[in-house]
Amino acid sequence: MAERRFRALRPRMLGLRRPSDRHQPPPPERSMDPRAASAATAPVERSIVDAGLYRDGHRIATPQTLGEAYRLLPGEPGTMAWIGLYRPAEAQLLAAAEEFGLHELAVEDAVVAHQRPKLERYGDTLFVVLRAARYLDEVEEVDFGEIHLFVGPNFVLTVRHSQAPNLAAVRRRLEEDPELLGLGPEAVLYATLDSVVDGYAPVVAGLQNDIDEIETEVFGGDPKVSRRIYELSREVIEFQRATSPLLGILEGLIAGFDKYGTDEELQRYLRDVADHATTVAERVDGFRQLLDGMLTVNATLVGQSQNEEMKRLTEASFAQNEEIKKISAWAAILFAPTLIGTVYGMNFDYMPEIHWIFGYPFALALMALVCAGLYLVFKHRRWL
């Protein structure tokens, strides 16, 4: 039945099967993200990183193809297949959908990628999207990865679209603990969740270190700190988008413990992961509030610095004006006798008082009187 359903849906499933569909608009996940086209990497044809069949927590076979894994998978309890894919081709995911009865919408999400973290149930199969993260200290950026998990009654299919996280380490950890791996596909889901959440700890530490440095720069008056705050805020917001939905995923798993008969030991493990995820989410939320506060404080400090600079410039301008007033006043005082002396020095025969005996003292007295008058006027106006 599943095979007939996927053969019928295959032409329309991802909009990539018929020639007439080549000019269809891109999926919403890519059309909303202009970076998707540049970030996409061509899928490799051989994308099975590792595949194993396990019975009671021990590997019993290592199939080379999806078809072989499905054929070797018996229906007896305690046996499951765990297949890891890395950037699989669309045809390979369609083959997995036919073999394991995966829902076409979940397969489309796995092919398109660029999904937000989420948990969806299609019948007896869980579809989980996780966003892993790692901190790159050299460039002060958070690098994000994406993992898609199909968790069925007797199989786990992981689709990884980035180098991180290292799911090979998760497989080694579980293979070294057959008792935990023997709990079935839910144990693989738990171990993957635990690995992703544990990977958040170095990111939190790196962001905390950057925030501490920014605090020092803000109060140290570094003019470039505003740009650094903005860039780090973007990283924190992106990190928050990866961590916040994880709480809903874990709450959904915890709510289904009784309904789906989850092992008690596994319940404790998942609750521990939920506690760690809550701590990370709270720290990230605190980071965002801190950065918002730093941006406000930095703007206030920059404003205060500009006000102080304007005050200094105003005071300097005022002092300069006072000096100009003094110079102008003395220039006017000195100009008055010069003007009078110039008039009396014109040597014309017909000038008043030119042959007067008191002409010379009168000219000097007039100069002194004008200078004294100007001095008193400028003194009254506080120019001197």
Residues 205 and 141 in one domain: yes
Residues 81 and 149 in one domain: yes
Residues 214 and 360 in one domain: no
Residues 205 and 286 in one domain: yes
Residues 247 and 364 in one domain: no
Residues 6+ apart with CB under 8 A from 239: 133, 142, 203, 207, 284
How many domains does the structure of the chain reveal? Answer: 2
139-147: long-range pairs with CB below 8 Å, 24+: 140/206, 140/210, 140/231, 140/232, 140/235, 141/235, 142/203, 142/206, 142/207, 142/235, 142/238, 142/239, 144/238, 144/242, 146/113, 146/114, 146/115, 147/192, 147/196
Residues 130 and 246 in one domain: yes
Residues 259 and 196 in one domain: yes
Residues 275 and 376 in one domain: no
For the domain that residue 125 is a member of, what is the CATH number? 3.30.460.20
Domain ends where: 270, 303, 336? 303
Q: Model's pTM, two decimal places?
A: 0.70
Q: What is the domain extent for residue 61?
A: 2-303
Residues 238 and 359 in one domain: no
Residue by residue, pLDDT tens for the chain (384 residues) are 444 334 334 433 444 443 344 445 555 555 444 444 444 443 434 578 888 899 888 998 888 877 788 888 776 777 899 999 888 888 888 888 888 888 888 888 888 878 889 999 998 899 999 999 988 887 778 888 889 999 998 899 999 887 777 788 999 999 999 999 988 899 999 999 999 999 999 999 999 998 888 888 888 777 678 888 888 888 899 999 999 999 999 988 888 888 778 888 888 999 999 999 999 999 999 998 888 888 888 777 777 777 777 878 877 777 787 778 778 877 777 777 777 777 666 666 666 666 676 777 777 787 788 888 877 887 777 777
Residues 257 and 336 in one domain: no
